Structure 1
Amino acid sequence: MIQQGDAIPSVAVKLVNKSGVIDGDSATIFGDGRVILFTVPGAFTPTCHNNHLPGYVSAGEALRTKGVNRIICMTVNDHHVVSAWADASEALGVVEFIADGNATLTKALGLDKDMSGGGMGTRAIRSALVIKDGIVEAVFTEDQPGQVTSSGAPAIVEFLESMPS
C-alpha cells in the first residue's frame, strides 16, 4: 500500500470534471499543489453516495481554505457510470473524479480489495490521501465496511488544521 513519502505512480486514467471526460496521467493530475484523493468502492453505492462523497462536497470550501487545490474521488467504475454519478450527485465544480474502470491506478496504489464475494469484483478500499506536488503526505483507510471516519472530509480538515503552516 502506498505510504507517506511515496510518489504517485504514473498511470493512464480517465478524469471526469466539468469539462467532461479527459484522458490523463495520474502523476500529472496529482503533481501540482495539494490534492485530496479519496477512494470509494463504487459509484452510487449507499455509503459512497449518501455519506462519503457528500461530506467532501460540503467541506469543499473548508478544504480550499486549508490550501487544497483539488479534491478528487476515485472509484473502480467505467467513465460512463462515473460521469452519471458526478452529475446526479451535483458534485462537479467541487469534486473531480477518476474513473478507474480496470482498477489500474487502484492496484498501483495498493488500495485494491477483492469484493467478488459481494458480486463487485476488484474495488478500491475506502481511503483518503493527502498529496502535495505528487508526493503522499498522509494516508487514511477505513477498518470497517460502510464506515466513513478516518477517510471522511471532517477528518481530513482536522488533519490539515494540525499541520504547520
Structure 2
Amino acid sequence: MSVTCLRVRAVCRAVNYGRCFSRTSAVNTSAKVGDSLPSVDLFENDPGTKVNTAEAFASGKHIIFGVPGAFTPGCSKTHLPGYIEDFSKLEAKGVKSVNCVSVNDPFVMQAWGENQGAAGKVRMLADTCGAFTSQLGLDLPAVKDVLGNVRCKRFAMVVNDGKIEKLNVEPDGTGLTCSLSTSLCDEL
C-alpha cells in the first residue's frame, strides 16, 4: 500500500492530552519501497554509542518502527509492547533485528526500554535531532505544541540488505493500525 500523497482526514483523540495530534493533511514521505536507507547516526543507550543506519542494516532482514515519543500512552501501552511480544514470531520469519526509533535522547530511550522489558528483543535507538526521521520524510510537526518539538510519524518498515522492502506509515501519523507488529507480522 502506497502512502505517498494520500489525502486523509483524520481526527485523533490524544489520550491524556485533551487535544488533537493530527489535522487534515497529506501523508507525504520521501522514502519509498526500494530505496536505500540513509546513512545517519542514531544513538543506543548513551551519546557515545552510535549506530549508523546504513551499516547496521546493510545485511539481512530488519524491522525498524518509529514512534512519536517514549513513554507516551499509545507507544507504551500498545506499539512497543506488541513488538516485544511478537519478537519470536518475527525472528521465526527471518527478521535479524527489531528496532524502535524515536526523536528522544538516548538516556530516555534506554530508560523506556528497561521499563518495557525490551532488552534482547527490541533495540531502542534515539534519533536525537530527528535527522533519520527527516531524511525519510517521516517527521511529524503537528505534535510540536504537545511534545515540545518535531517528532517521528508512527511507521514500521522492513529493511532487507539495506533497502526498504516494506513501508507502513499511519495515515494520520499517530494512529495504531498498519504500523503495529501484528500488521507487519501478517505481511512477512
Instruction: Give the TM-score, by structure 1 length.
Output: 0.90
1:3-152 matched pairs, under 5 angstroms: 3-16=32-45, 22-114=49-141, 115-144=143-172, 146-152=174-180
TM-align CA RMSD: 1.7
Cα deviation per residue 1:2-30 (whole Å; 9 max; x = unaligned)? 1000000111221349xx96212110111
Give the Cα–Cα distance (whole angstroms) in 2 for the partners of residues 132 and 32 of structure 1: 7
User: Which consecutive unaligned segments of at least 5 residues does structure 2 have?
Assistant: 1-29
Aligned to 1:153: 181
Q: How many matched pairs?
A: 158
- Aligned-pair CA distance for 1:97: 1.5
Letter in 1 for 2:87: G
Aligned to 1:163: none
Cα deviation per residue 1:53-106 (whole Å; 9 max; x = unaligned)? 000001000001111000000000000111110111111110001101100111
Q: Percent identity?
A: 35
Give the Cα–Cα distance (whole angstroms) in 2 for the partners of residues 44 and 149 of structure 1: 19
Q: Are the counterparts in 1 of residues 37 and 163 from structure 2 also a CA contact under 8 Å?
A: yes
Give the secondary structure class of the aligned counterpart of 1:71: strand
- Aligned-pair CA distance for 1:146: 4.9
**Residues 113 and 146 of structure 1, relative CA distance in 2, 3 Å threshold:** closer
**Residues 152 and 22 of structure 1, relative CA distance in 2, 3 Å threshold:** same
Give the Cα–Cα distance (whole angstroms) in 1 for the partners of residues 145 and 105 of structure 2: 20
**Residues 23 and 91 of structure 1, relative CA distance in 2, 3 Å threshold:** same
Give the Cα–Cα distance (whole angstroms) in 2 for the partners of residues 153 and 71 of structure 1: 10
Q: Are the counterparts in 1 of residues 140 and 173 from structure 2 also a CA contact under 8 Å?
A: no
Letter in 1 for 2:166: A
**Residues 52 and 21 of structure 1, relative CA distance in 2, 3 Å threshold:** farther
Structure having the higher Rg: 2
Q: Are the counterparts in 2 of residues 40 and 125 from structure 1 also a CA contact under 8 Å?
A: yes
Instruction: Give the TM-score, by structure 2 length.
Output: 0.80
Give the Cα–Cα distance (whole angstroms) in 2 for the partners of residues 133 and 21 of structure 1: 26
User: Which consecutive unaligned segments of at least 5 residues does structure 1 have?
Assistant: 161-165
